[in-house]
Amino acid sequence: MIYPNPLISGFYPDPSVVKVGEDYYLATSTFEYLPGIPIFHSRDLVSWTQIGNVVDRPGQLHSENVPTLGGAWAPTIRHRDGLFYVVVTDAMARGMLIFTSASVEGPWDDGILVKGIHGIDPDLAWGEDGTAYITYSGLDTTSGAEPGPHGGILQITVDLESGTPTSEPKQLWSGTGLKFPEAPHLYQHGDYWYLLIAEGGTERGHGISVARGNSPAGPFADGAGQGGPTNPILSARSTGREIQNTGHGDLVETPDGGWALIMLGMRPGGMTQAFSALGRETFITEARWENDWLVAEPVLLNPREGESVFETDFDEQTLSPQWISIRQFPAEVSSLSERPGWLTLTGDGSTLDDQRPALVGWRQQHPWATASVVIDPGTGLGGLSVRYDEDHHYEIEVGEGRVTARASVAGIRQTWTHDAPKGATTLSIDFIRSVGDSMLSALTSDIVVLSAGEGDDRFELARVDGRYLSQETAASFTGRVIGLYAVRGTVAFDSFRYAGKD
């Protein structure tokens, strides 16, 4: 089978997947955005539908004041004895958590804290005797202590009902010596247990390495010089492949009885592959077993054909699960009933520079895309934005008779203004290829165009280089999010449309 790549496009990093019968379920990180930890479903590993979120109410994560880069890091989803488990780190906040639910669609419980354990990227596996093992990366983001040296790959046994560790952390195999050993996953296959990890950092040096042992507790060895693989078994480093940063993989059996690795990667654009506008996305590649070792194929670009379109007039009772907000839930900042047929947001004076703006967002999932919305600001102020974090965002907003486009990049700000049309106004953001005769024009990822109005009355306010809203420049762990937002007053939105293609 030839899989599409990306498998799930846009800001869906750190994927974990589990097969239950003929069904596949996949979870990803969300960091400071809520609802948290989206759950996708597939029957064929090709077509995926988001069916919910693990974190769908206040209190499950302590994300309301989490710093940028904090929040839901690297979930692992597993299933045993009729119960679904998601183990995750609420980084810079609550700690390592175990969520459970009898139904993958939810509701999920409030999460049990794994007591006294400070690490990231936790994995959950069970030994043949039913002992539960949590294997994790020894980076402390939750104790409040000053960051120390990386602790390598660690493991505990745990009581899943109470979250109480039943053993002291022990060191496992931590890779070949590359930086940041992380994203461990344990699997039993044949006569061996296999430990899969990422190493090399989540940037261009990212890769997947493997070791094996006779039990889930190890000891693990990579078999170097004894017929084992050359680690990392998967990496795009120092290649010209269109998908880079490949790593943080989870292994799953395919519908035809084969194997696949699902992992994160990035699609850097520009002549020198320098800027990844969409951040870390979910990709897939075929894997197989040779001489009791795992072998993986390179991760190759295979985009889905045609244009992807999402449209809504906000006539529904609730927002679909793809909508997200920053450190709060969409329902906390928006309403579909206050003005039926419109989505209303009420601003409290917070701007996109602040940590908790009144914003409801939709991920940009394609490098070439357009987003538009009809806005009625009333006596308020609000608009349409594309955001990476509070230091990196472009927006076009309307209020008090003016349309303002703005680019904010690490404290540097530029604005453009124009008289606003009367009544409701269409605001648009287009993501287009850079056009120019110089080599400089070919280096960037894309150009972001900020416009207002429709048809012959449409006017463009600004064209801004997209490289400043990329993972390499902003350096946040998320991706671009297209946001409807209000700064002050009650602002109403209608006819949101997103269309994109690869």
Question: 304 vs 422, which has greater pLDDT?
Answer: 304
DSSP character at residue 228: -
The owner of tokens 């540097």 is 412
pLDDT > 80? residue 500? yes
10 part of a folded domain: no
Question: 48 vs 1, which has greater pLDDT?
Answer: 48
User: What sign does the CA torsion over 220, 225, 229, 234 have?
Assistant: positive
**Residue-wise pLDDT tens digits, 99-111:** 999 999 999 999 9
- Give CA 462 to chain center in angstroms: 28
pLDDT given at position 1 = 59
DSSP character at residue 195: E
> Are residue 462 and residue 399 in the same domain, yes or no?
yes
Overall number of domains in the chain: 2
Identify the band that residue 2 occupies on the pLDDT scale cut at 50, 70 and 90. Answer: confident
pLDDT > 90? residue 414? yes
Query: For residues 395 and 386, what is the distance between their CA atoms, to the nearest angstrom?
Result: 6
Which residues, 6 or more positions from 173, have their beta carbon under 8 angstroms from its beta carbon?
153, 195, 197, 211, 218, 219, 220, 221, 222
> Are residue 358 and residue 449 in the same domain, yes or no?
yes
Which strands sit side by side in the sheet containing 83-91, from one edge to the other? Answer: 71-80, 83-91, 95-101, 112-113
- State how beta strands 33-34 and 325-326 pair: antiparallel
**Residue-wise pLDDT tens digits, 52-66:** 999 999 999 999 999
Residue 8 bridge partners (DSSP): 282
Tell me how far CA of residue 140 lies from CA of 42, 145, 368, 371, 462, in angstroms: 34, 8, 38, 39, 43
pLDDT > 90: percent of the chain: 95
77 part of a folded domain: yes
> Are residue 241 and residue 368 in the same domain, yes or no?
no
1 part of a folded domain: no
Task: Kindly report the CATH number assigned to the domain that includes residue 381.
Answer: 2.60.120.200
> Are residue 451 and residue 497 in the same domain, yes or no?
yes
**Residue-wise pLDDT tens digits, 346-398:** 999 999 999 999 999 999 999 999 999 999 999 999 999 999 999 999 999 99
445 part of a folded domain: yes
Tell me how far CA of residue 127 lies from CA of 99, 185, 215, 384, in angstroms: 20, 13, 8, 50
Query: For residues 314 and 337, what is the distance between their CA atoms, to the nearest angstrom?
Result: 10
**Residue-wise pLDDT tens digits, 234-286:** 999 999 999 999 999 999 999 999 999 999 999 999 999 999 999 999 999 99
pLDDT > 80? residue 147? no
Exposed/middle/buried for residue 225 (C-beta within 10 Å: 0-12, 13-18, 19+): exposed
Question: Domain boundary at 245, 276, 296, which?
Answer: 296
> Are residue 345 and residue 260 in the same domain, yes or no?
no
Question: Domain boundary at 296, 323, 345, which?
Answer: 296
> Are residue 364 and residue 239 in the same domain, yes or no?
no
DSSP character at residue 143: S
Query: For residues 255 and 24, what is the distance between their CA atoms, to the nearest angstrom?
Result: 10
Record the pTM.
Answer: 0.97
> Are residue 285 and residue 312 in the same domain, yes or no?
no
Query: For residues 124 and 88, what is the distance between their CA atoms, to the nearest angstrom?
Result: 10
- Token output for 340: 């039926």
pLDDT given at position 173 = 96
pLDDT given at position 127 = 97
> Are residue 75 and residue 205 in the same domain, yes or no?
yes
Kindly report the length of the chain: 502
Task: Kindly report the CATH number assigned to the domain that includes residue 277.
Answer: 2.115.10.20
Answer whether 27's CB lies under 8 Å from 86's CB.
Answer: yes
DSSP character at residue 31: B
203 is catalytic: no
> Are residue 362 and residue 433 in the same domain, yes or no?
yes
380 part of a folded domain: yes
> Which of 182, 281, 397, 494 is an active site residue?
182
Answer whether 186's CB lies under 8 Å from 173's CB.
Answer: no
> Are residue 286 and residue 345 in the same domain, yes or no?
no
Residue 302 bridge partners (DSSP): 5
182 is catalytic: yes
- Token output for 351: 């701007």
Query: For residues 157 and 121, what is the distance between their CA atoms, to the nearest angstrom?
Result: 16
Q: Name the residue range of residue 420's domain.
A: 308-501
Identify the band that residue 437 occupies on the pLDDT scale cut at 50, 70 and 90. Answer: confident
> Are residue 330 and residue 365 in the same domain, yes or no?
yes
Range 238-253 burial, b when 16+ CB lie within 10 A, else e = eeebbbbbbbbbbbbe
355 part of a folded domain: yes
User: What sign does the CA torsion over 424, 367, 198, 292 have?
Assistant: positive
Which strands sit side by side in the sheet containing 281-290, from one edge to the other? Answer: 244-253, 259-266, 281-290, 293-296
221 part of a folded domain: yes
Per the prediction, the chain carries an average pLDDT of 96
> Are residue 85 and residue 219 in the same domain, yes or no?
yes
> Which of 14, 140, 222, 389 is an active site residue?
14
Mean pLDDT value across residues 302-320: 96
The owner of tokens 């999460």 is 111
pLDDT > 90? residue 436? no
Cis peptide bond N-terminal to 232, omega within 30: yes
- State how beta strands 308-312 and 481-501 pair: antiparallel
- State how beta strands 402-409 and 343-348 pair: unpaired
SS3 sequence of 310-358: EEECCCCCCCCCCCEEECCCHHHHEECCCCCCCEEEEEECCCCCCCCCE
- Provide φ and ψ at 148, rounded to 5°: -115, -170
Question: Domain boundary at 296, 316, 343, which?
Answer: 296
**Residue-wise pLDDT tens digits, 214-230:** 999 999 999 888 888 99
State whether residue 174 is helix, strand or coil: coil
Output Rg (C-alpha) for the chain, integer angstroms: 23
* Cα pseudo-dihedral 94, 97, 102, 105, rounded to 10: 60
303 part of a folded domain: no
Mean pLDDT value across residues 465-473: 97
